[in-house]
Amino acid sequence: MRDKVCNHTMYGETEEELFANAKEHGIKEHGYIEETWQEEISKNLEHFKNLIKQV
Ligand SMILES: [Zn+2]
| pLDDT tens digits along 2-13 | 455 677 888 899
Q: Which residue has the higher pLDDT, 54 or 17?
A: 17
Q: Are 37 and 29 in contact (CB under 8 A)?
A: no
H or E segment at 39? helix 34-43
Q: Which domain holds residue 38?
A: 1-55
Q: Residue 5: its pLDDT value, please?
A: 61
Cα(18) to ligand 1 centroid in Å equals: 13
How many separate domains does the chain show? 1
Q: Which residue has the higher pLDDT, 54 or 35?
A: 35
Output the CA torsion sign for 26, 29, 30, 31.
positive
Cα(38) to ligand 1 centroid in Å equals: 16
Cα(26) to ligand 1 centroid in Å equals: 6
**What is the 8-class DSSP label of residue 49?**
H
Distance CA 43, CA 46 (A): 8
Per-residue pLDDT tens digits for 22-49: 999 999 999 999 999 999 999 988 888 8
Q: Residue 37: its pLDDT value, please?
A: 94
